């Protein structure tokens, strides 16, 4: 299996994670112009395990180091498989809430709040002093992310139509999504052996863990997505029959592409964790907040109706995220 040998390559792969996690929701924005996001999400959920299998049978089955995918998944203990499945289930409800928040409030609001909060919780939940060279730099970086979240909330409150509802429905859902998303990674990490070259018996390599995680995500649509289809938080109710009758081939492919993009990011992230450590790897990947905010602000023009004086706050938000991410990288040099 392919194993990351250098910290520089691990950081590069986490940057790819950042780009993927911050960009996949553009497929939702594109598809939602033609059909309900709850139908889109079925295709997204299919794209995740499909791409996980591609990684498992390519990078996860090549080379002489570690355990190849099939031998690895065959020896995995029941506890390890349950943890990875649980990671998929927890992530799914968090991601569904994030998708709902995007539908209500837009990418520039939902992503910075939900993913920024997930970054803070995820770094703390996955923190291991033995895996971090400079803990002070790590937590300073996380602190700047918190500041960026607060600035983003202030910007949101300036938008027309949000002042009378406090932080707004979209912001509240984003916060709930962020809390849930902060914990899913830990379950997947516990199912894996951190020594990829000589994996612990019973535990999995990142390639096997990614496949099991993807299955957990897809199957848990039964308990999370189907109820939301018939009793939606936002939008109209939809049926399973509409998924087959209303979706064109192009729309289905857009959704599958969204899931595949997200899984490329997740796969690279847990592969990089072998060298960077879980806290740093996860923290860098969640820099996706900055990427998504860029899309929301500059491409989708979600803050175009914000009052004068908002631009300095937007600049400050990006500056805090960038500086915070730089400190997270530095913390393990």
To the nearest 10°, the Cα dihedral for 106, 261, 267, 98?
A: 20
The pLDDT tens digits for 75-99 are 999 999 999 999 999 999 999 998 7
Token reading at 185: 């990674």
Question: What is the predicted pLDDT for the residue at 74?
Answer: 97
Among 46-50, 152-156, 192-196, 264-268, the minimum mean pLDDT is found in 152-156
Decide: 257 and 51 in contact? Cβ < 8 Å.
no
| Average pLDDT score over residue span 62-76 | 93
Cα–Cα distance, 284 to 119 (Å, whole number): 8
Q: Phi/psi class of residue 277: alpha, beta or left (left: φ > 0; alpha: ψ in -120 to 50)?
A: left
Mean pLDDT of 204-212: 98
Q: Which long-range contacts (CB under 8 A, 24 or more apart) does 291-294 make?
A: 291/18, 291/19, 291/21, 291/22, 291/23, 292/21, 292/22, 292/23, 292/25, 292/107, 292/108, 292/111, 292/112, 292/115, 293/107, 293/108, 293/111, 293/112, 293/152, 293/317, 293/318, 293/321, 294/22, 294/318
Residue 166 has what pLDDT? 38
pLDDT at site 269: 96
Residue 240, number of CB atoms within 10 A of its CB:
13
Token pair for 184: 């899913």
Percent of the chain with pLDDT over 90: 54
What's the mean pLDDT in 124-141?
90
Q: How confident is the model at residue 170 (pLDDT cuts 50, 70, 90)?
A: confident
Mean pLDDT, rounded, for 3-13 = 94
Name the token pair of 268. Answer: 């690279």
Please give the Cα distance from 290 to 296 (Å, whole number): 10
Beta bridge partner(s), residue 192: 204
Q: Is the pLDDT of residue 164 over 50?
A: no
Q: Could you report how far apart the first and last alpha carbons of the chain are, in Å?
A: 25
Rounded mean pLDDT of 156-162?
A: 68
pLDDT digit string, tens, across residues 275-333: 998 888 988 887 777 787 778 778 777 777 778 888 899 899 889 988 988 898 889 87
Tell me what percent of the residues of the chain surpass a pLDDT of 70: 96
| pLDDT band, very low/low/confident/very high, at 42 (cuts 50, 70, 90) | very high
> What residue segments make up the domains of the chain, in order of their start?
7-330
Q: What is the mean pLDDT of the chain?
A: 89
Displacement of CA 150 from its chain's centroid (Å): 20
In angstroms and rounded to an integer, the radius of gyration of the C-alpha atoms of the chain is: 19
The answer to whether 62 and 274 are in contact (CB under 8 A) is: no
Each residue's pLDDT tens digit, 244-275: 998 999 999 999 999 999 999 999 999 999 99
């Amino acid at each position: 299996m392919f194993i990351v040998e250098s910290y520089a390559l691990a950081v590069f792969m986490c940057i790819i994670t950042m780009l993927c996690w911050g960009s996949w929701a553009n497929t939702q924005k594109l598809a939602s112009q033609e059909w309900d996001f709850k139908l889109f999400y079925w295709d997204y959920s299919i794209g995740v395990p499909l791409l996980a299998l591609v990684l498992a049978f390519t990078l996860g089955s090549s080379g002489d180091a570690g355990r190849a995918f099939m031998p690895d998944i065959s020896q995995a203990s029941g506890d390890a498989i349950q943890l990875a499945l649980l990671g998929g289930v927890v992530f799914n409800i968090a991601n569904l809430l994030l998708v709902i928040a995007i539908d209500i409030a837009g990418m520039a609001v939902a992503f910075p709040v939900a993913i920024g909060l997930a970054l803070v919780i995820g770094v703390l939940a996955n923190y291991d002093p033995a895996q971090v060279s400079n803990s002070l730099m790590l937590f300073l970086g996380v602190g700047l992310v918190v500041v960026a979240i607060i600035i983003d909330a202030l910007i949101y409150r300036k938008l027309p139509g949000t002042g009378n509802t406090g932080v707004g429905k979209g912001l509240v859902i984003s916060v709930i999504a962020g809390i849930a998303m902060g914990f899913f990674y830990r379950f997947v990490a516990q199912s894996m052996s951190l020594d990829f070259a000589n994996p612990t018996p019973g535990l999995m390599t990142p390639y096997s863990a990614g496949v099991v995680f993807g299955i957990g995500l897809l199957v848990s649509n039964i308990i999370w997505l189907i109820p939301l289809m018939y009793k939606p938080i936002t939008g109209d109710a939809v049926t399973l029959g509409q998924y087959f009758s209303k979706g064109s081939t192009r729309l289905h492919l857009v959704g599958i592409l969204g899931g595949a993009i997200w899984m490329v990011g997740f796969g690279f992230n847990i592969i990089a964790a072998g060298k960077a450590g879980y806290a740093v790897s996860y923290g860098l990947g969640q820099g996706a907040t900055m990427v998504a905010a860029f899309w929301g602000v500059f491409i989708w023009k979600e803050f175009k109706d914000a009052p004068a004086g908002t631009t300095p706050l937007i600049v400050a938000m990006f500056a805090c995220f960038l500086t915070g991410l730089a400190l997270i990288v530095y913390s393990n040099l």
